[in-house]
Chains A and B, each alone.
Chain A
Amino acid sequence: MMRIAEALAAFKPHRGDAIVVPGRGGKFWVELTGNEKLDVPLGDPAMGGHAGFALGLALAQPKRRVVLFDSEGDILMSLGMLTTIAEQAPANFYHFLLDNEVYATTGGQPVPNAKNVKYDRLALAAGYPRAQAFEKLDDFDRALPEIFARPGPVFVALKVYPEIENAPIGSRVRWNKRTRTRVVADLQQELGIDR
């Protein structure tokens, strides 16, 4: 297993000018990023939707890479989304999964069949042209150049340590300094989108 921050740090040199949707890795990514205006840290607007949101971005911005750090709890809630992504097959879409096997934000209860689900195989079965899975950070780090050397969509499942939050939501430290509205406005300004 690897820590989420380690996985994101390994990815960072490969980011280029990609739009990054950090999903539940947001609180770690905001400390690492070097290009905040191309980041879309949204927290959790509604569980299960990060993949759909990132797909929409990828379809709207086909010349720009979109990198998503999804979670297994989110993707289990929206498995059918994998078929939509595979059908649309955006070549600019890089779909990473942070699989900690638990619902970390609610105290660490296991997701269904946590230790036995092969998410990379689910993605392949849904029609993704390629998918990989990594448990060790070194292996992931070595594979990153090849992952980004080829077009998407690609699905990359990463086993990460659960970093559990067990405090009432209202008392948790707010890691995102920008509102969702600000995040989207900054992104659109950076992309030259006139709204």
Chain B
Amino acid sequence: MAEASTTALSPETVLAEMKKNGVSHIVWLPDSETNWLYLLMQAELSLTLVGVSREGHACSIASGLAAGGAKPMILIQNTGLQESGDSLRGWLLSMNVGCVMMVGYRGWTRHGVTTDTAATYTEPFINAYGLNYYLVENDADAPRISVAFEEAAKTKRPVVVLVGDEYHGFNR
């Protein structure tokens, strides 16, 4: 059995987590780094992709999906998360929607200084809404994705998975 990578988060790993946790719909707005994940998701028959043009839309759609008995996951970038504030408040938190929001952590780096404001405002934003979050940087972190799903179901609140490997994990 191959060891989990500690240097990159592979799209196959992310897809496996989606399937393992019974995701039915991916509500998403891609960035340029998620193309390979897109191809995998598109080929996966158990997933329905719902593309949006503004990230806040993902919250209301996910809320309706959950009310109708589906299991949505939101896949967006941190810039879009910050755009989504009112929709997150109204359509996810006030509706008790326990869904996972996988968020590309654009601009964040473990090495040196993070200067991109898309990144520097991300964790304060998440904390302002009282959301819990897990940082995932490589395949060895993948079990955290399942932890996020379990926590979302248990708490009936959105839980964020920050993908800290934006520029290597998905882009081949």
Contacts and interface: CB of A to CB of B under 8 A. Distances in A.
B54 A80 contact: yes
Interface residues of B, number: 32
A16 B70 CA distance: 23
Which of A47, A181, A184 neighbours the largest number of chain B CB atoms within 10 Å of its CB? A184
A50 interface: yes
A78 B54 contact: yes
A95 to B, nearest CB: 13
Nearest to B59: A49
Contacts, number: 121
Residue among B52, B63, B64, B66 with the highest chain A CB neighbour number at 10 A: B64
Contacts of A106: none
Main DSSP-derived SS at the A contact region: helix
Which of A42, A46, A180, A181 has the most chain B CB within a 10 Å cutoff?
Answer: A46
A49 B90 contact: yes
A188 B67 contact: yes
B106 interface: no
Contact of A40 (B59, B67, B86): B67
Contact of A59 (B48, B58, B60, B87): B48
Nearest to B27: A56
Interface stretch (A82-90, A117-125, A133-141, A161-169): A82-90
Given A45-B63, A60-B65, A80-B53, 9 more contacts: A52-B63, A53-B60, A56-B25, A59-B50, A81-B52, A83-B53, A181-B96, A188-B69, A191-B68
Interface of B: 24-25, 48, 50-54, 56-70, 72, 86-87, 89-91, 94-96
